[in-house]
Structure 1
Amino acid sequence: MQQTKRSKIACATLALLAGLHYTHAAFAGAAPDNAVKVVAAKHRADAEHSMVLGAALAGKRIVAVGERGVILLSDDNGEHFRQAQDVPANATLTSVAFADAQHGWAVGHWGVVLHTDDGGEHWREQRADTSVDQPLFSIAFRDEKHGWAVGLWSLLITTDDGGATWKTQQPGESAAAGKSGLNFFSVFAGPEKDVYIAAEQGTVLKSTDDGANWQTLHTGYKGTLWSGVVAPDHTVYVGGLRGNLFASQDGGATWQSVPSGASNSITSLVASATSVAGVALDGYVTVKQAGASGFVAKQLPGRDALTALVLKNDGSPVLFSKDGVVAK
């Protein structure tokens, strides 16, 4: 099955987050009727060194997802990782989110949505569309029932029943749709019923009714926004190409450029009760402590192409890169 030119470009863009060239090897072979066949992910001896594109906390457990359907679990604050026992798809997984310690979802290529109800040990498929490789790049859940996932060509899917059913939603004319639509790279929830999407062309979409309706916000930036998060003080942060970082203290009505300290793409932003932190492809970790005036950036000695992070209870980060778990 051949990818469209637009799909190849977008998948190459996704691969930029990991500093790699995208390869169309997410699934093993094709069925006789030329339909792509979804197969289970294999256990790999080098799983900890597989490219990681997303990570989240499931209670105290760390769950990270990445290439070839690899899902890594750690129950000792990132000291050691092991592979999940059962993952039904070997698609490249791009994002993971948990509503609580048990219920989580992961998304990736071929529009795959996977669900776990045991903290990431076992997963089952909720959605896949092998008729076109329209990847999902990000997923977020407010609670066990309400969630959103976004991806290529303005793809937006929502659920109100924990993923038992997913419906495709049109985000609005300003974001377009189909193969001419903006690519959506990060979806994240805010307070009350606010939901945000970080997209191409410096665009942020916002819903104030849990995703029923959307409005388009403009940061004033023209480049791609890869990541976003809402801090405990309700400040909205979005990060993108060349270390560009923007903040809004009024729900996205106005935006201010914030020095991040990084000069390459900001691939992930997360928040805890005490800090906001991000990572970038040039190996920078940038952190803003609660009450501080700005972000403080530090570059890793090896300058790993950082792709994801989680913050432990003590506020320290566990980092992931194109080469997997970053050694301490």
Structure 2
Amino acid sequence: MTRRAALLGALAATSPAAILAAPRKARALTRPALSVARPMQANLQAIVRAGEGRRLVAAGERGLIVHSDDDGKSWVQARVPVSVTLTALCFADARVGWAVGNMGVVLLTEDGGASWRKSLDGEAGAQLALQAARALQASGGRTDSGGPAGMLIEEAQRLVEEGSDKPLLGVAWREDGSLLVVGAYGLAYASKDGGKSWQSQMHRLPNPDGLTYYGVAERGGESLLYGEQGLLLRSTGGDAAFTSMASPDAGSLFGAVSLREGPVLLLGLRGRIWRGVSSKRPWNLIQTHVDAALMAGTQLRDGRVLLAGAAGQVLLSRDGGEHFRPLGLRQRFPYTGVAQAQDGALLLVGVRGLLRLPPDELRAALASGGAASMNEKSGA
């Protein structure tokens, strides 16, 4: 954020309109999501399968969460205790999952997404950050960014004063069984008991400029935390701290896909894709003809990889993410999430709702992409 943007934001926050709006924003943390007549035409931000089962869960604006048990043909709206926009989802199994979103909200479900309860919000998170900063100062320690604990206390106090105005943008159930949620301006919290209790992680992450985190990806027992301005951190799992990692890109990294074979694809601005096999090998830039940000992706059951973009593009790879080509679809809009149903259908979500490609339509679309060209096979 530039200095000018920060000053304008400060002036806006102290304006009479902002002061009157503050109670309305706070009510969004306690006001249940309203029933939506056409939920599949609403702004949806994320979609996942609940574990390895048939259930699909999607989430989006004003606390909207819907679930489907027939491969995305019909949907039921879930009971949600907040009305803030939800940005990301993940599940540990068919029943236990989490959603994160605006105002620092974390929601927990234990019935496969049919009902949810609040596990954390921005106000509670700010208090956790302040407690952690004070404990660090009392112990004489320093942050993992190298700064004094006093500076961390100042930042945490600012979080408390500003209230729950910052979004969480990523959530990950890590291989060691811990839960990590991350978001704007360096927000990060971890839980070792599935979201029943939380610990601030801001002092443990080398992010001195408070850059935004967009998500977490797993690769061969390690976790990669990615975000704004190419921010890239790495942890070997367990209680191991995240450390700075050389980033392949100076532009923001918005999404990631962890492939079953081991590599990770980082998705960024202007259609850039970075493919990384291990921390000991450099990232490879994958050329595409897309000029808009790529936001999300998934690996299909047959191993092919699909990526979705902010301008409605869908890219297909048949060789583990080494080459991509455009996939023609009957409808295009800015996509923010993608998942494959158990029956093979493809589900894409975004600002205009949900697009479902039945298995036969997906097969036709994949076939229209054609086999890899000789140039692709040779790497030309």
TM-score by length of 1: 0.83
Is 2:97 aligned against 1:65? no
Asked if 2 retains the 8 angstrom alpha-carbon contact of 1:225 and 1:239, the reply is yes
Tell which deviates more after alignment, 74-83 or 48-57.
Answer: 74-83
1:298 is aligned, of 311, 327, 346, to 327
Q: Is the 8 A contact 1:236 1:251 kept in 2?
A: no
Aligned counterparts of 2:326 and 2:167: Cα–Cα separation in 1: 31
Counterpart check, 1:152 vs 2:184: yes
Q: Which residue of 1 aligns with 2:116?
A: 123
Q: Give structure 1 stretches of 5+ with no counterpart.
A: 10-23
Give ranges in structure 2 of 5+ residues lacking alignment.
10-16, 124-162, 358-380
Structure 1 contact 195–207 (Cα < 8 Å) conserved: yes
1:210 counterpart residue number = 238
Separation in structure 1 between the aligned mates of residue 54 and residue 182 of structure 2, nearest angstrom: 26
Counterpart check, 1:223 vs 2:223: no
Deviation for aligned residue 1:287 = 2.4
**Offset at residue 199 of structure 1 (A):** 0.7
- Report if the CA contact (8 A) 2:121-2:164 is conserved: no
1:271 aligns with 2:303: no
Instruction: Give the SS at the match of 1:48.
Output: helix
**Match for residue 40 of structure 2?**
48
Separation in structure 2 between the aligned mates of residue 323 and residue 211 of structure 1, nearest angstrom = 40
Q: How does 1:12-31 map to 2 (within 5 A)?
A: 30=23
Deviation at 1:29, TM superposition (A): 7.0
3-state secondary structure, aligned to 2:23: coil
Distance change (3 Å), C-alpha of 1:211 and 1:189: farther
Between structures 1 and 2, the one with greater strand share: 1
Cα distance, 1:299 vs. partner?
Answer: 4.2
Give the superposition deviation at 1:327: 4.9
Q: Which amino acid aligns with 1:40?
A: P
Deviation by residue 1:106-140 (Cα, 9 ceiling, x = unmatched):
00011100010100001011001241312100101
1:76/1:318 Cα in 2 relative to 1: closer, same or farther (>3 Å)? same
Q: CA deviation at 1:240?
A: 1.1
**Number of residue equivalences:** 302
Measured against aligned partners, the alpha-carbon deviations of 1:123-181 in whole angstroms (never above 9, x if no partner) come to 011001241312100101136952111101111111110000111113656422xxx41
Aligned equivalent of 1:87:
80
Decide whether the 8 Å contact of 2:257 with 2:264 is kept in 1: yes
After superposition, the CA RMSD in angstroms is: 2.8
- In the alignment, the residues of structure 2 paired with residue 250 and residue 284 of structure 1 have an alpha-carbon distance, to the nearest angstrom, of 28
Match of residue 311, structure 1, among 333, 337, 340: 340
Counterparts in 2 of 1:249 and 1:115: CA distance versus 1, 3 Å: same
Moved more, 153-162 or 36-45: 36-45
Q: Find the partner of 1:107 among 100, 110, 124.
A: 100
Distance 1:197 1:46, change over 3 A: same
Q: 1:296 to 1:144 in 2, by over 3 A?
A: same
Query: Hey, what's the Cα distance between the residues in 1 that align with 2:297 and 2:256?
Result: 6
Specify the code of the residue in structure 1 equivalent to 2:215: S
Check whether the contact 2:275–2:321 (CA below 8 A) recurs between aligned residues. Answer: no
Match of 1:283 among 295, 312, 316: 312
Q: State the shift of 1:191 in Å.
A: 3.0
Q: 1:100 to 1:327 in 2, by over 3 A?
A: closer
